[in-house]
């Protein structure tokens, strides 16, 4: 990859650890090897407590760092993310490195190929430092549904980091990786970003290749960045985005480059404050969202309250569509070719025994839900109906974007909850996604920006939503929000 | 458009009270270079599990990308079957089986690419084609030990080379009324598939697989009876036999007051019977839903026109053209069969080249449909000039028919120049003088038969010809012998 390095974030912007590393490594003032050692040291020191990582790539990361340093020494362009460690949610395929989806059923499986995003990160000079914990197959909102145990929230280790990309969010929040990738099917990047006090962004469906992302719900899944700052989010999105011949659902239109939009301000932009993403949420969260809206108005945006009643159908529709697709996507874990196999008398019995032993309770619940929703005689009432709701939501958002450039609201109804608080109440857990699923159902981009804390110091996220391919305006608004947000103190568990 | 119910003579003539109703589902493998959703080689007979990748193995994270050439081949088939080509999408058909890498098959369901076509059979009946849709093939399982079926095998081996090979499934309407007509349909369809270049239509290699839906109803009624689907039909002969068996079985059931149960049945070629695989109640719920990893296929008019222009004439048209070469002669059943064989094997070019060079049409058809058709693939590669030259030698009496045939067989096997081959083998037709001498010797040696021949027993021509052949080391020409015998009789 050639071209200039990352854009200077400009005065007043928050420090962006990733961009500082890239700048220094590109200039040759810091070696990638030292950067990697520093982060590996931090992981070794505190990840025992957090459990953000499932696999740490000590050797692989050092090898990659050496090759970046060699390139710098030879005077070549090491790429815009030269020497920057990146943590990958462990549902993205890495050649020769276990990819577990935090599930027992993928026990021992090493993909023979790299996901497209991994290839793009490497081409940009980034270094894969480890694979992060998630709710099994990305099904969950707390990272408690992991076969390897929960990840803890760096701001309060007694609380969840959110999910399903909880490992990636916690790693960035705790300073164990300057950048991370997550996947967002119903809020799985934005919700943990909000709960951990980092920036989490779900791109427009089709702008980032899904090749090598282990599928949960194919029509909703999208890979996106988890970062400390909005600028880093835009830089990382620009690196991983773009058409891929290996993914037919990738858009052919060129992905808008977003970094250049960051400094444009919000003067004259039309912002809709979505009632449905404000009214029902915790009071502390509501207060922060209203403060954010005021800040945008103060910066020159025209902010108006707006109601999208269709949003209340979003969650039920999501919990039909996602499990339905998942029930099919997860069929392949049958013990025949890879991963776990529990031997039995017949092929059918082997399939059943393998799946019974290999999947956790939440995954089984969703396979059952999805199988039911697609069954003969129920398809029209469930899957068909949910797809109609999806169209309603797309139409409602289309109407909203006639009036507004972006929409804002809460990312999550609550701040981080205690570990164990919702594990026995799936419906309460599902409600964590209520603010985020509309963007997935519509395929639109959305970003969560940290915007202060509740009274106990837990981070609150504010969500900015934009129409399809509206990433530039979304980042533009996010940058203004970030600049006006109170600075979060370092979390309780953090790299020194 | 529906086929006339009297079409095709049913062999179940003893049960005129019952009318069989037959529809066929034909799967054909497309002979694209690569598989339907990945870049792996699409080849039959390679070392197991050598043409595989993350996509066709269904590894986690892999995604399908549609092979445009496969779409084009599917369109060729659709156009050859007079189908409408429509915007189409893929669905997932979900069921567990060890040879299915993803445990779902990507297939077209309610929006197939080709719909509402028809196929005209050589007996002038017309069978409607409801749809011809695209789907991916599964892997191939071999069950080792036990009875060779999955349930009692010691272990099973799976070859995923076939997984993801592009298929088109052609579904006929229940328009056929006899096993004969069903065979005719399958054979005509095979000819069309080969002619489009989209598939090689080899039933024995499994590149064309036929399932038959069979039901019976009381003659003169319209309501369809309960049908059974018969699988494992690996040749046209099995197709015919299995349908015959099934028709008799169903008639037997209903005549005894029993009901036909809707079932999938397996044809056992050795025992000549069908047996139940699973009933409707046990049928899978495939939980079809639109494949979210693929986008719709919308062939525009220009593309359709381009594909239409790329396919040559279909068998019916080609048969007509060959028949035209015979001139005003009425096309006998035997000639029609020869023409059908020539077209089936794609040897039209040999016949037209020979006739164009002045060879008798009958001779050209005979050599093309008999000797050349023993190895059609070699015949399609044979040097046309050499073929014409050989027939010229035979027509001019320089080679006997027997000699000519054996030269042709050698040319098919090893290639070579016919003059050279004939010379090497010492082939040379007897000149008329020598022939007359040999005939005279044979006649003299069999006075009794000669008397009978003179007395009008014409079939003894064969007897004398055989002896002349043996006496001349096959250098005599059969027709010339007959002519000499007639001349001697006066």
Place of tokens 């960051």: A262
Burial string for B98-118 (b: 16+ CB within 10 Å, else e) reads bbbbbbbbbbbbebbbbbbbb
Strands B140-144, B155-159: parallel, antiparallel or unpaired by DSSP? antiparallel
The chain B residue lying nearest A335, using CA atoms, is B98
- CATH, residue A237: 3.90.1300.10
The confidence score (pLDDT) of residue B150 equals 66
DSSP string, B335-384: HHHHHHHHHHTT-HHHHHHHHHTT--HHHHHHHHHTTGGGSHHHHHHS-H
The confidence score (pLDDT) of residue A280 equals 86
A-chain CB neighbours of B98 within 8 Å are: 334, 336, 347
Condensed to tens digits (0 to 9), the pLDDT of residues B96-123 reads: 998 999 999 999 999 999 999 999 998 8
* Cross-chain Cβ contact B104/A331 below 8 Å: yes
Residues 89-128 of B with CB under 8 A from A: 92, 94, 96, 98, 101-104
B-chain CB neighbours of A338 within 8 Å are: 59
- Confirm whether A200 is domain-assigned: yes
B-chain CB neighbours of A111 within 8 Å are: 54, 59-61
Burial string for A278-310 (b: 16+ CB within 10 Å, else e) reads beebeebbbebbebbbebbeebebebeebebeb
Which of A244, A337, A390 would best serve as a mutation to test chain B binding (most B beta carbons within 10 A)? A337
Helix axes B179-196, B68-80, angle to 10 degrees: 130
pLDDT(B324) > 50: yes
Per the CB < 8 A criterion, the answer to whether B22 and B177 are in contact is yes
Dig out the tokens for B13 from the structure: 């003539």
Per the CB < 8 A criterion, the answer to whether A454 and A416 are in contact is no
Where in the sequence is the domain holding A57, given as residue range(s)?
Answer: 17-308+394-484
Q: Average of pLDDT values for B14-20? A: 84
Q: How far apart are CA B376 and CA B380, in angstroms?
A: 6
Per the CB < 8 A criterion, the answer to whether A308 and A399 are in contact is no
The confidence score (pLDDT) of residue B148 equals 65
The confidence score (pLDDT) of residue A13 equals 61
The confidence score (pLDDT) of residue B6 equals 42
Confidence of residue B397 (pLDDT cuts 50, 70, 90): confident
The confidence score (pLDDT) of residue B14 equals 55
- Confirm whether A359 is domain-assigned: no
A379 in the Ramachandran plot: left (φ > 0), alpha (ψ -120 to 50) or beta? alpha
Nearest CA-CA partner of A229 in A399, A17, A75: A17
- Confirm whether A314 is domain-assigned: no
Dig out the tokens for A340 from the structure: 């776990």
Q: How far apart are CA A163 and CA A185, in angstroms?
A: 11
* Cross-chain Cβ contact B61/A346 below 8 Å: no
Q: What percent of chain B has pLDDT over 70?
A: 95
- Confirm whether A449 is domain-assigned: yes
Confidence of residue B428 (pLDDT cuts 50, 70, 90): confident
Q: Which residue has the higher pLDDT, B10 or B350?
A: B350
* Pick from A352-361, A429-438, B60-69, B463-472: least confident: B463-472
Count of CB atoms situated within 10 Å of the CB of B54: 20
DSSP string, A411-472: S-SSSPPBTTSSTT-HHHHHGGGTTTHHHHHHT--EEEEEEEE-TTS-EEEEEEE-STT-HH
Which of B71, B292, B294, B296 would best serve as a mutation to test chain A binding (most A beta carbons within 10 A)? B292
- Confirm whether A278 is domain-assigned: yes
- Confirm whether A48 is domain-assigned: yes
The confidence score (pLDDT) of residue B156 equals 84
Condensed to tens digits (0 to 9), the pLDDT of residues B173-215 reads: 999 999 999 999 999 999 999 999 999 988 888 899 999 999 9
Per the CB < 8 A criterion, the answer to whether A89 and A202 are in contact is no
CATH of B432-489, one of 2.60.120, 2.60.40, 1.10.10, 3.30.1180: 1.10.10
Q: How many CA atoms lie within 13 A of A490 on its CB side?
A: 8
The confidence score (pLDDT) of residue A135 equals 98
Per the CB < 8 A criterion, the answer to whether A437 and A378 are in contact is no
Total structural domains within chain A: 1
Which of B54, B63, B90 would best serve as a mutation to test chain A binding (most A beta carbons within 10 A)? B63
Catalytic positions of A: 89, 164, 188
The confidence score (pLDDT) of residue B281 equals 64
Residues of chain A with pLDDT under 50: 1-12
B222 Cβ neighbours under 8 A, 6+ residues apart: none
Dig out the tokens for A419 from the structure: 């570990």
The confidence score (pLDDT) of residue A6 equals 42
pLDDT(B13) > 50: no
Choose among A248, A336, A346: nearest Cβ to B151.
A346
Condensed to tens digits (0 to 9), the pLDDT of residues B351-392 reads: 999 999 999 999 999 999 999 999 988 999 999 999 999 999
């Amino acid at each position: 990859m050639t071209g200039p390095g990352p854009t200077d974030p400009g005065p007043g912007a928050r420090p962006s650890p990733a961009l500082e590393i890239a700048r220094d490594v590109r200039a040759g003032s810091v070696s990638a090897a030292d950067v990697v050692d520093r982060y590996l040291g931090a992981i070794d020191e505190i990840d025992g407590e957090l459990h953000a990582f499932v696999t740490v790539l000590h050797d692989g990361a050092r090898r990659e760092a050496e090759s970046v340093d060699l390139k710098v020494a030879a005077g070549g362009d090491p790429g815009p993310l030269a020497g920057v460690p990146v943590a990958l949610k462990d549902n993205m395929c890495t050649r020769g490195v276990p990819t577990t989806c935090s599930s027992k059923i993928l026990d021992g499986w090493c993909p023979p190929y790299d996901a497209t995003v991994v290839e793009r990160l490497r081409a940009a000079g980034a270094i894969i430092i480890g694979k992060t914990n998630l709710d099994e197959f990305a099904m969950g909102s707390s990272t408690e549904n992991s076969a390897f145990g929960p990840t803890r929230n760096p701001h309060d280790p007694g609380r969840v980091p959110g999910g399903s990309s909880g490992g990636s969010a916690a790693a960035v929040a705790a300073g164990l990786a300057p950048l991370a990738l997550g996947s967002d099917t119903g809020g799985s990047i934005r919700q943990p970003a909000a709960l951990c006090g980092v920036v989490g962004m779900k791109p427009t469906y089709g702008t980032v290749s899904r090749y090598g992302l282990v599928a949960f719900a194919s029509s909703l899944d999208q890979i996106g960045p988890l970062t400390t700052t909005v600028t880093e989010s835009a830089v990382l999105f620009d690196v991983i985005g773009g058409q891929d011949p290996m993914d037919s659902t990738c858009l052919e239109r060129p992905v808008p480059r977003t970094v250049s939009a960051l400094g444009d301000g919000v003067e004259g932009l039309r912002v809709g404050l979505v009632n449905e993403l404000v009214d029902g949420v915790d009071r502390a969260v509501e207060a922060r969202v209203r403060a954010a809206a005021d800040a945008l108005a103060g910066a020159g945006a025209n902010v108006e309250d707006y109601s999208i009643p269709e949003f209340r159908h979003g969650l039920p529709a999501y919990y039909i569509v996602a499990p339905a697709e998942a029930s099919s996507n997860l069929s392949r874990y049958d013990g025949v070719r890879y991963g776990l196999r529990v031997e039995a008398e017949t092929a059918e019995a082997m399939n059943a025994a393998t799946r019974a032993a290999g999947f956790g309770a939440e995954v089984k619940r969703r396979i059952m839900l999805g199988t039911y929703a697609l069954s003969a005689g129920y398809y029209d009432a469930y899957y068909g109906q949910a797809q109609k709701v999806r169209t309603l939501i797309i139409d409602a958002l289309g109407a909203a974007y006639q009036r507004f450039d972006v929409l804002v609201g809460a990312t999550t109804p609550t701040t981080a909850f205690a570990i164990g608080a919702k594990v026995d109440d799936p419906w309460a857990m599902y409600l964590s996604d209520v603010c985020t699923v509309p963007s997935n159902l519509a395929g639109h981009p959305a970003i969560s920006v940290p915007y202060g804390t509740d009274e106990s110091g837990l981070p609150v996220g504010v969500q900015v939503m934009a129409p399809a391919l509206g990433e530039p305006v979304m980042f533009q608004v996010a940058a203004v929000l970030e600049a006006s947000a109170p600075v979060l103190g370092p979390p309780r568990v953090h790299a020194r | 458009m529906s086929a006339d119910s009297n079409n095709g003579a049913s062999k179940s003539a003893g049960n005129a009270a019952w009318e069989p109703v037959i529809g066929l589902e034909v799967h054909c493998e497309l002979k694209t270079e690569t598989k339907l959703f990945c870049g792996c080689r699409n080849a039959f007979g390679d070392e197991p599990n050598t043409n595989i990748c993350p996509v066709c193995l269904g590894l986690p994270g892999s995604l399908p990308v549609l092979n445009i050439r496969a779409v084009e081949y599917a369109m060729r088939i659709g156009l050859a079957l007079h189908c409408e080509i429509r915007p189409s999408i893929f669905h997932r058909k979900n069921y567990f089986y060890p040879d299915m890498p993803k445990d779902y098959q990507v297939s077209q369901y309610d929006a197939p690419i080709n719909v509402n076509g028809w196929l005209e059979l050589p007996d002038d009946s017309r069978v409607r084609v409801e749809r011809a849709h695209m789907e991916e093939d599964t892997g191939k399982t071999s069950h080792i030990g036990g009875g060779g079926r999955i349930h009692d095998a010691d272990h099973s081996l799976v070859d995923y080379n076939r997984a993801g090979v592009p298929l088109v499934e052609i579904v006929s309407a229940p328009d056929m009324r006899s096993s004969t007509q069903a065979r005719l349909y399958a054979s005509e369809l095979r000819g069309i598939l080969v002619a489009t270049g989209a598939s090689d239509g080899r039933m024995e290699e499994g590149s064309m697989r036929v399932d038959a839906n069979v039901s019976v109803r009381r003659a003169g009624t319209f309501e369809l009876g309960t049908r059974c689907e018969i699988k494992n039909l690996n040749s046209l002969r099995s197709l015919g036999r299995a349908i015959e068996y099934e028709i008799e079985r169903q008639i037997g059931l209903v005549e005894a007051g029993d009901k036909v149960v809707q079932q999938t049945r397996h044809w056992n070629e050795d025992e000549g019977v069908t047996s139940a695989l699973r009933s409707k109640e046990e049928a899978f719920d495939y939980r079809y839903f639109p494949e979210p990893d693929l986008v719709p296929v919308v062939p525009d008019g220009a593309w359709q026109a381009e594909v239409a222009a790329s396919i040559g004439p279909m068998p019916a048209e080609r048969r007509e053209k060959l028949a035209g070469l015979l001139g005003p002669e009425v096309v006998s059943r035997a000639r029609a069969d020869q023409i059908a064989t020539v077209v089936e094997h794609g040897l039209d070019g040999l016949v037209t080249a020979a006739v164009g060079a002045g060879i008798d049409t009958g001779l050209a058809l005979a050599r093309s449909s008999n000797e050349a058709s023993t190895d059609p693939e070699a015949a399609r590669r044979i040097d046309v000039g050499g073929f014409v030259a050989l027939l010229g030698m035979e027509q001019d009496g320089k080679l006997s028919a027997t000699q000519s045939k054996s030269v042709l067989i050698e040319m098919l096997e090893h290639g070579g120049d016919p003059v050279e081959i004939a010379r090497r083998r010492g082939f040379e037709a007897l000149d008329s003088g020598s022939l007359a001498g040999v005939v005279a010797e044979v006649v003299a040696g069999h006075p009794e038969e000669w008397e009978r021949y003179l007395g009008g027993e014409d079939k003894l021509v064969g007897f004398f010809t055989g002896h002349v052949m043996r006496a001349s080391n096959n250098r005599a020409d059969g027709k010339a012998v007959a002519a000499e015998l007639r001349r001697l009789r006066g």
